[in-house]
Amino acid sequence: MDVIGVIPARFSSTRFEGKVLEKIAGKPMIQHVWERAKQALLLDDLIIACDDERVVSAAKEFGAKVVLTAKAHACGTDRIIEVINPLEVKVVVNIQGDEPLVHPSMIDGVARVLLEHNDMVMATVMKMISDPGLIDDPNVVKVVVDKNNFALYFSRAAIPYRAHNSFVKQPIYYKHIGLYAYTKDFLFTYKNLAFSALENTECLEQLRVLSEGFRIKVIETPHDTIGVDIPEDLERVKKILQ
């Protein structure tokens, strides 16, 4: 296979247990993610990787391929690695199970980058921020990129910072959307990278990759998403989808 999509779906979420099965417009949230991901053109296969039999049961009801993984995994990346370890595949796309507004073009975009460029090992997504209220929100991760759209840094702070004597009237800010593609080989390299001081400071695991000197290609999308971390996020998504 060229590309496989994996949706890590953790029932035992610390901040919002069972959120992947919360109903939105009559369907569990994980079904919305799966249905949108199924519309991607480049996925040869799509698997839900979960930690609970209740998610397995729900996924089977709407026809998804699902794998029950070990409960002890510390993060979604470890859950993905368990699923794809025995598979022959070039590119793996990590599709967050709590992003019911994910757009299929994002999935195709990150996959295409790695399929077409043998020197790239990881890709992700950004969207220009149009709402000024999001710039200083630490729950909205910002990213700055170089001229070739490789990530320079990710932060919960407002980056770039506009100096008082800056000639730039209004910087452009980009929101990072947590959808990732990796080559299968790099996914195992990533798993074994040491935790970095930056990662621990910002609580952003992608900073581990930059700290070790690897590059992350960032594609821009016009589509926005809402990650469901707390019940209030779920209500926002319901208003959009209903």
Taking only the tens place, the pLDDT of each residue in 111-145 is 999 999 999 999 999 999 999 999 999 989 999 99
Give the separation between CA 97 and CA 183, rounded to whole angstroms.
20
What are the Cα distances from residue 131, in Å, to 140, 175, 234?
11, 11, 19
Tens digit of each residue's pLDDT (9 = 90 or more) over 40-66: 999 999 999 998 999 999 999 999 999
Q: Is 242's pLDDT higher than 80?
A: no
Burial class for 148, CB neighbours closer than 10 Å (0-12, 13-18, 19+): exposed
Residue 13: pLDDT band (50, 70, 90) is confident
pLDDT band at residue 71 under the 50/70/90 scheme = confident
The torsion angle over the Cα atoms of residues 86, 211, 222 and 115, rounded to 10 degrees, is -40
* 15 pLDDT more than 80: no
Pick from 138-142, 192-196, 201-205, 228-232: least confident: 228-232
Which runs of E-coded beta strand occur in 74-147? 91-94, 122-128, 142-145
> Has residue 200 got a pLDDT over 90?
yes
Q: What per-residue confidence (pLDDT) applies to 92? A: 98
> How many structural domains comprise the chain?
1
Quote the CA–CA distance of 17 and 230 in Å, as a whole number.
9
Range of the domain at 31: 3-241
What CATH number has the domain bearing residue 150?
3.90.550.10
Q: Quick check: 168 pLDDT over 80? A: no
Pairing type for strands 65-68 and 45-50 reads parallel
Residue 18: band (very low, low, confident or very high) from pLDDT cuts 50, 70, 90: confident
Write down the pLDDT at residue 58.
Answer: 96
Question: Virtual CA dihedral for 88, 89, 95, 101, nearest 10 degrees?
Answer: -120
The answer to whether the beta carbons of residues 55 and 49 sit under 8 Å apart is no
Residue position matching structure tokens 């759209």 = 149
Mean of the per-residue pLDDT values for the chain?
A: 93
